Structure 1
């Protein structure tokens, strides 16, 4: 069941981001709008688009969130692997996504204190400054 839902969520999320899907949705709205005079701008005519868009939006929230959760977890696993593999990287940063916002902010401030000053007055790590100086 889980793999079926994952495949379905991937397919729907992928299709939702395509230009063709937008064009189809736009055409549905245009057809609905032009059908207004035929249905005398009735409450039922308005209810059709309101109900349809509400249902689609409600379901899409869960499908897209499922895809984003998987993407974020995969991305985090890749970053953790890079931290583990790079000899000079700090292994302490593996898993910091599980910390509270306050703890992450504290880490961010600590890292900023370890940085140098850029030409424009912003803070940057020395390696970033070297990279920027090349261009």
Structure 2
């Protein structure tokens, strides 16, 4: 099931991010508005359209967030492996999981080491 969701999510995110989509949506909106004005769509039709548009926007937001979270986890895993295989200190592994104070302390130590090496 997760594999299928990932496939659908990747397809939807790539489709939603396509460069033609904004122009197609603007054209669709203009045509829809013109047809609505010609046939005098009732006010409820516009409210329904607003609701559907909001739901679609929310759905796309969730898909993009899911995709970004997966990409960030993969990126952190790759960085951790690079740190593990290099001469860097292993205390940097999984730094994103530490609290803000610990990360700031690590960053300050790193800046102090850089300034000592320059002097």
TM band (smaller chain): 0.7 to 0.9
Structure 1: gaps spanning 5 or more residues: 117-124, 127-135
Which 5+ residue runs of structure 2 have no aligned equivalent?
none
Give me the whole-angstrom Cα distance separating, in 2, the residues matched to 1:40 and 1:105: 60
Which structure has more relative contact order (CA 8 Å, sep 6+)? It is 2
| Equivalent residue, structure 2, for 1:97 | 96
Kindly report structure 1 stretches of 4+ aligned residues shifted beyond 6 Å.
none
Q: TM-score, normalised by structure 1?
A: 0.76
Q: What SS class does the counterpart of residue 37 from structure 2 fall into?
A: coil
Q: Which of the pair is proportionally richer in helix? A: 2
TM-score (norm 2): 0.84
Deviations 1:6-64 (A, max 9, x none): 11101111111111222222222222332342244742242143122111011112211
Give me the CA root mean square deviation.
2.2
